Amino acid sequence: MRIFLTLAAFFFAAPAMAEHHEAAPVTPVTIVIHGGAGALAPGRYSPEEEAAFRAKLNEALDAGYAVLESGGAALDAVEAAIVLMEDAPMFNAGKGAVFTRKGKNELDSSIMDGATLNAGAVAGVTRVKNPIKLARAVMEKSDHVMFARDGAEKFARENGLELVKPSYFKTEHRWKAYKRALKAEKENQKDAALFHDFKYGTVGAVALDAEGNLAAGTSTGGMMMKRYGRVGDTPIIGAGTFADNKSCAVSSTGWGEYFIRLTIARDICAQVEYQGKTVEEAADDVIHHRLQDMGADGGVIVLAPDGSYAMTFNSKGMFRGVKNAEEQIIAIYGEEE
């Protein structure tokens, strides 16, 4: 009898034991980044310049992925990748930002936590070295979502963020582009802010961490020749940035006015949440139909809680990259992946 009971206990317990040893589902930690969309066709950059872009995108992917791989939070991964691109002079964010019509650099940024729907944003800052860090401080250390201009800088100072002279952001190639735009404006009697045959250059990242949390962040110098305190989509939650663990995380780049009017980031996540679309289908609808139909251009990176992602744009190209356990991809032009 005792043997029977022991055997019975063993057989009944066996499936439970087997279950116990089954590996828990592993979240496919992933980071996706962009360095701006726009008129990017092969030949636009010299091989050296192109290699430098690709190397910097790889570096940003590695920095973000290292955070995720060691069990760090999606928010930290997003911040790490964006800080690297803000510090790189080739992107239109942080150092290397484009100039306003008055020859200034005015920076916008935002970040969002998909687990809590907390968000932080800053607009029109001129002295904060890494606007993405300030956006995060707004999210975590204030009761508000967005600070602008002087108030944002006061908050940065109070929270110990690194401040720099406005001249820190200036680069020769952006200054030359600004001078060219001024000249073209005079000659053509046309508002140079409306010349859209350039690349946007905003930077952004979306990440999924081992806990299954999503985060998104975006940072920019805005559109070249912008004027009178213009604020684009980048610091607008739901336009330039959105993250919700229930649907997806999005970071945008493109003609900001249209991204605001179409609430692009939120629309993509809403289509995923309410219509059951994949991130690819939702991004395709919003970029290739809604944005396209209004005659505007740009792109998005989108990441879902299951690790599926989209890098969708209707401009000629978009600096972009993705890294997960299986792949590390960097691409610039259309049809490259």
Residues lying near ligand ASP in the complex (CB under 6 A) are found at 36, 92, 200-202, 220, 222-223, 232-234, 253-254, 256
d(CA 296, CA 83): 28
- Record the tokens describing residue 211, joined without a space: 């806990």
* 202 belongs to the catalytic site: yes
Nearer to ligand ASP by Cβ, of 86 and 209: the residue is: 86
Q: Which residue is closest to ligand ASP by CB?
A: 256
Nearer to ligand ASP by Cβ, of 69 and 257: the residue is: 257
Residues 6+ apart with CB under 8 A from 14: none
Nearer to ligand ASP by Cβ, of 131 and 201: the residue is: 201
Nearer to ligand ASP by Cβ, of 253 and 312: the residue is: 253
CB of 233 to ligand ASP, least distance (A): 5
Name beta bridge partners: 174: none
Q: DSSP for 106-149?
A: -EEEEEEETTT--EEEEEEESSBS-HHHHHHHHHHHSS-SEEEH
CB–CB of 293/258 below 8 Å? no
Closest CA to 100 of 81, 121, 125: 125
Cα angle for residues 281, 283, 287 (degrees, 5° grid): 120
CB of 240 to ligand ASP, least distance (A): 6
CB of 334 to ligand ASP, least distance (A): 17
Give me the catalytic one of 30, 100, 126, 202: 202
Return left, alpha or beta for 309; rule: phi > 0 is left, psi -120 to 50 is alpha, else beta.
beta
CB of 108 to ligand ASP, least distance (A): 6
Catalytic residues: 202
